[in-house]
């Protein structure tokens, strides 16, 4: 049994990590930590957890914690991850690993030196539907892959108005934007299906110098993009394009089109208001709708219920990695590489020159 301490046990963790852990017999949640003792006690009581702390370091140091889950704002990831590593604990960090590629690289090197299992929550890598489509492409279902296109909604980030509680996200130093969060997840999922980008050209339009805080009549300065537009080359030689647009409401879905020498795969959302890395897909191969075999769905959750199923699949990968004394995928090194790709997109947009991705 892997004993888990969750840092940041409200918000996102309450609707993804904690429900996922509750449904997996390999894990038990023994501790939670939030920004103050009162909220930590409340979160512990809500989820039936014995230990509650107001400090990530205290949680990480406790002997009844084997794995530290870091689910706080991106700008606070490094501090909590370093506390876990200092305590010699395995660590599972929310995406993005750091606020930039340099910080992510530093954390990856520190995790390797600590000799612990380290994972990042790019849950699209473990999506049963993404893995199934990747296998179809690899097996030649549409011949040699020639082009990939993605269109996706990144709401609630990137629009001309944002929720008041998200005002901080308009500052790129916080590490939470349409590029880092939404494009980060979407492109990771796309690469899981079609292979890695090795070169990219991009634009990051920012039409709003200030964004409105919904319902308040106030605005805040804005320095993050409203859209992510890119063209690139995959390691296979296929071309790739993506258009990820922001907005202030519920996302209206996504479209992936993969064109090969002998056919096409088309992926759309099965219902509105969901993201591609959260859910099951509506998949057509050469015009015929196909169903993902049950063998791909190992997590004991309904794939229509939101993010819990794919997050649970990441936890299953972590449990296997701990048992097999290996690193899970994606680990911190994969996260750092993905953040280098996002940095290349920023350079391409800033210079107008195509960038190679290291």
> Cα separation of 30 and 131, whole Å?
32
Contact 345, 200 (CB under 8 A): yes
DSSP classification of residue 99: S
pLDDT score at 251: 87
Q: Which residue has the tokens 């370091």?
A: 57
- Answer whether 178's CB lies under 8 Å from 166's CB: no
- pLDDT recorded at residue 249: 81
Q: Name the DSSP letter for residue 158.
A: E
Task: Give burial (CB, 10 Å; 0-12/13-18/19+) of 38.
Answer: exposed
pLDDT in tens, 64-100: 999 999 999 999 999 999 999 999 999 999 999 999 9
Domains of the chain and any CATH numbers: 2-122 (3.40.50.720), 125-322+329-356 (3.30.360.10)
Contact 339, 97 (CB under 8 A): yes
Exposed e or buried b per residue across 311-332, where buried means at least 16 C-beta atoms within 10 angstroms of its C-beta: bbbbbbbbbebbeeeebbbbbb
Give the per-residue pLDDT at 294. 95
DSSP assigned state of 178: I
Instruction: Say whether pTM exceeds 0.85.
Output: yes
pLDDT at 233: 98
Which element (helix H / strand E) includes 267? strand 263-268
* DSSP 8-state assignment for residue 358: -
The neighbour count for residue 196, using CB atoms within 10 Å, is 17
Angle at 72 between CA 68 and CA 204, to 5 degrees: 125
Q: How far apart are CA 133 and CA 189, in angstroms?
A: 11
Q: What DSSP state is assigned to residue 253?
A: -
Q: What is the pLDDT of residue 248?
A: 80
DSSP 189: H
Structure tokens at 336: 């750092």
Give the separation between CA 280 and CA 271, rounded to whole angstroms. 9
* Chain centroid offset of residue 26 CA: 22
C-alpha angle with apex 344: 341 to 349, nearest 5 degrees? 135
Q: Taking a C-beta distance cutoff of 8 angstroms, is the pair 123, 212 a contact?
A: no
Work out the angle at residue 233's Cα, subtended by the Cα atoms of residues 192 and 354, and round it to the nearest 5 degrees. 125
Q: What is the pLDDT along the chain (358 residues), one digit of tens a residue?
A: 999 999 998 889 999 999 999 999 999 999 999 989 999 999 999 999 999 999 999 999 999 999 999 999 999 999 999 999 999 999 999 999 999 999 999 999 999 999 999 999 999 999 999 999 999 999 999 999 999 999 999 999 999 999 999 999 999 999 999 999 999 999 999 999 999 999 999 999 999 999 999 999 999 999 999 999 999 999 999 999 999 999 988 888 899 999 999 999 999 999 888 999 999 999 999 999 999 999 999 999 998 888 999 999 999 999 999 999 999 999 999 999 999 999 999 999 999 999 999 8
Other beta carbons within 10 Å of 48: 9
Q: Residue 243 in 3-state DSSP?
A: strand
The pLDDT assigned to 51 comes to: 97
Sheet holding 67-70, edge to edge: 51-53, 27-33, 2-7, 67-70, 90-94, 118-121
């Amino acid at each position: 049994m892997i004993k888990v301490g969750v840092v940041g046990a409200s918000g996102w963790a309450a609707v993804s990590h904690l429900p996922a852990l509750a449904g997996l017999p390999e894990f038990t949640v023994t501790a939670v930590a939030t920004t103050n003792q009162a909220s930590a006690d409340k979160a512990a009581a809500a989820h039936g957890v014995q230990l509650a702390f107001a400090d990530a370091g205290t949680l990480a140091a406790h002997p009844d914690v084997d794995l530290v889950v870091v689910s706080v704002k991106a700008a606070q990831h490094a501090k909590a991850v370093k506390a876990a590593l200092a305590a010699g604990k395995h660590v599972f960090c929310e995406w993005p690993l750091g606020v930039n590629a340099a910080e992510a690289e530093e954390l990856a090197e520190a995790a390797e030196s600590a000799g612990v299992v380290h994972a990042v929550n790019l849950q699209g890598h473990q999506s049963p539907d993404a893995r199934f489509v990747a296998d179809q492409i690899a097996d030649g279902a549409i011949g040699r892959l020639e082009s990939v296109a993605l269109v996706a909604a990144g709401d609630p980030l990137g629009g001309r108005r944002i929720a008041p509680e998200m005002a901080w996200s308009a500052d790129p130093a916080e590490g939470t934007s349409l590029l880092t969060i939404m494009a980060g997840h979407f492109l990771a999922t796309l690469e899981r299906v079609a292979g890695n980008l090795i070169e990219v050209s991009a634009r990051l339009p920012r039409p709003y110098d200030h964004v409105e805080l919904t319902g308040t009549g106030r605005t805040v300065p804005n320095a993050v993009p409203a859209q992510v537009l890119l063209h690139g080359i995959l390691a296979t030689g296929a071309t790739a394009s993506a258009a990820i647009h922001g907005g202030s409401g519920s996302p209206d879905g996504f479209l992936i089109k993969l064109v090969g020498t002998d056919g096409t795969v088309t992926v759309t959302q099965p219902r509105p208001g969901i993201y591609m890395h959260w859910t099951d897909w509506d998949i057509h191969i050469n015009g015929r709708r196909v169903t993902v075999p049950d063998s791909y769905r190992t997590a004991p959750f309904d794939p229509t219920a939101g993010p819990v199923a794919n997050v649970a699949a990441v936890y299953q990968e972590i449990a296997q990695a701990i048992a097999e004394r290996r690193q899970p995928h994606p680990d911190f090194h994969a996260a750092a590489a993905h953040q280098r790709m996002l940095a290349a997109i920023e350079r391409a947009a800033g210079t107008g020159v195509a960038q190679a991705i290291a």
